[in-house]
Chain A
Amino acid sequence: MTTEATRERGRRRGAGDDADKQARAAHSERTRAEARLGWYLAGPAFVIMLAVTLYPILQAFYDSLFRYRLTTPDDRAFIGVENYWVILRDGFFWQSVAVTVLITLVTVVVELILGFALALVMHRAIRRLRGLLRTAILVPYGIITVVSAFAWFYAFDINSGYINHWFGWVPGISTDLNWFAQTGTSLFVIIASEIWKTTPFISLLLLSGLAQVPSDLEEAAEVDGATAWQRFRRVIIPNMKAAIMVAVLFRALDAFRIFDNVFIMTNGANGTTVLSLLAYKTSIGRLEIGLGSAISVLLFLCVILICWVAIKLFKVDLASARGE
């Protein structure tokens, strides 16, 4: 299409100014046609994405300004920001914020270390092993989170579990240890299952980042006598900063929305209620649409905040890091 246009323009240039103007008009007509076609093709996807997210979040914001319980629908009344006021003064809300932040921080830090180790292993592995390791590592990625949650739950459960029997020699663990009866031990299992499930994602991102590190730089450093640790610190890390940032940001956002495994393992008992679970229980469990919507909006704002902080703090250009 473009070659054609150039050829046409070239042919007409000889015919004088008038023809040139005409050609330019034809060219801009073509540009416009291309833009129109672009939007015809991409428009439906764009519109649907907005419809399935922008509309609900606006509706949630609207509902959050009302006293609105489905159990007493006639009681519905506009109350402004009172729902937010109620939530922000509630200790239970802040506790779930704290638990969610704790889970996010711990999983991201551990997964970054573990994911890096796995990525390095895959990067260095001989060809035959590389395929095997990559396949194995994809298994957790493919498994339904709920299934993984049940697997971890049954392994640790005081009735059906075997972990207590296996690790009885570890101080603090005995056959009558009920992991899901206390906050700390419950969170331990929840975090462990989350790490198991999502480390593959982070390590694959890091692996593709590792592939971008110029190998001649690494070799040059080795020739110059740099130790493995120095090469790692000075050559590898700086060259894959973008990949690391993207991996951390996406995992942090994902961990912040944690829901499935908490629902299955403790259902929020013993102080393990995370923000998503609190929103779910308030709106769908107790049918408090107004309050639940307010929590949903707050959760959404937290996600925006995390993005904003990440972009400001690390100066990640998400779009460029993702390849555009």
Chain B
Amino acid sequence: MTGRLTGRQRFWWAVISVFVLVWALFPVVSIFATSFKLPSQLNLGLFWPKTWSTSNYEQILVGDAQTLFLSSLRNSIGISLIATAIAVVLATLAAYAIGRLEFPGKRLILTAALGVSIFPAISIVTPLFNLWRNIGLYDTWLGLIIPYLSLTLPISIWTLAAFFRQIPWELEQAAQVDGATSWQAFRKAIVPLAAPGVFTTALIAFFIAWNDFVYGISLTSTDRARPVPAALAFFTGASQFEEPTGAISAAAVVVTIPVVILVLLFQRQIVAGLTQGAVKG
């Protein structure tokens, strides 16, 4: 499908593109529009606000919903980053071993990762809920970081193993033959080749931790550790009779924009990581 397009083809590609764009972006634009509506305009049945108001953003960033939202944002960033870092470090070691070394049990590790990744989170939650309460991990950062590893570790191992399998390991030997020490050979020949894969894996693992809801609502009870998705579900309105629609939408936009920017910046790497981890391309 390269070469010059006829007018007709051009037309159809335009139609298809517009269709895909609308489909992919519509709910995002929808919640964006809702986040700028005043409470009085919520029930008019309009898509765009009649007048644009930033009062919802004021409410969550400096107003009465501030403590709730900002603390959950801090929790989400901290917990997701730590869980991602631990997963990526451990997965890098494991994937290096799988890609570079011959040892019995390689397949077992990959199969275990696959098994863990299909595990229903809710099956883990009930026993952890009870155990965490008994040993004091309930409603703490660590109490979420540990179960988050069940989400981030398997995908990290699979994605990185796929990346590492494509690295020409002979480079390392060649460097050693040329007189480099093992460490130098590793650092100079392998690290630069592996770094993009590690970065992509970290990005995907972070998305997954950032997206978690089940652990977030089950293993926390206050703003000490409650992450953003769970906090959104427990938002309450300014009064008992007021729906928190505007505040939730504004909070949703705030936590969505960084993700969309990351996706825009790294779409090529994300696609490569997702598909290589799943089906070798």
Give the interface of A toward B (CB within 8 A): 1-3, 31, 34-39, 41-42, 44-46, 48-50, 52-53, 55-57, 59-60, 63, 70, 118, 121, 124-127, 129, 131-148, 150-152, 154-155, 159-162, 164-166, 175, 193, 196, 200-201, 204-205, 207-209, 211-212, 242-243, 246-247, 250, 253, 256-257, 259-260, 263-264, 276, 279-280, 283-284, 289, 292-293, 296-297, 299-300, 303, 307, 318-319, 321-324
Contacts and interface: CB of A to CB of B under 8 A. Distances in A.
6 closest residue pairs by CB, A with B: A38-B103, A323-B280, A165-B45, A208-B275, A59-B127, A41-B97
A129 B17 contact: yes
A207 B229 contact: no
B178 interface: no
Kindly name the residue among A57, A160, A284 whose own CB sees the greatest number of chain B CB atoms within 10 A.
A160
Contacts of A44: 90, 93-94
A279 B122 contact: yes
B123 A57 contact: yes
Contacts of B111: 319
A292 B12 CA distance: 53
Kindly name the residue among A42, A146, A323 whose own CB sees the greatest number of chain B CB atoms within 10 A.
A42
Given A45-B90, A150-B252, A155-B27, A57 B106 contact: no
Given A3-B177, A37-B97, A303-B120, A242 B279 contact: yes
Interface string B95-130: 011100111111111111111101111111111111
Kindly name the residue among A39, A138, A263 whose own CB sees the greatest number of chain B CB atoms within 10 A.
A138
B173 interface: yes
Nearest to B21: A136
Contacts of A48: 90, 149, 153
Interface of B: 1-2, 5, 13, 16-17, 20-21, 23-25, 27-28, 30-31, 34, 42-43, 45-47, 90-91, 93-94, 96-98, 101-116, 118-131, 146-147, 149-150, 153-154, 157-158, 161-162, 165, 173, 177, 207, 210-211, 213-214, 217-218, 228-229, 232-233, 243, 245, 248-249, 252, 255-256, 259-260, 262-264, 267-268, 270-271, 274-281
Main secondary structure of the interface of A (DSSP, over half): helix
B208 to A, nearest CB: 10
B192 to A, nearest CB: 20
Contacts of A59: 127, 131
Contacts of B161: 323-324
Given A134-B271, A150-B249, A296-B124, 18 more contacts: A35-B102, A37-B97, A42-B103, A45-B91, A45-B109, A57-B119, A59-B127, A136-B21, A138-B263, A139-B24, A142-B259, A143-B256, A151-B27, A151-B34, A165-B46, A208-B278, A208-B281, A322-B162
B130 A37 contact: no
B150 A53 contact: yes
A143 to B, nearest CB: 6
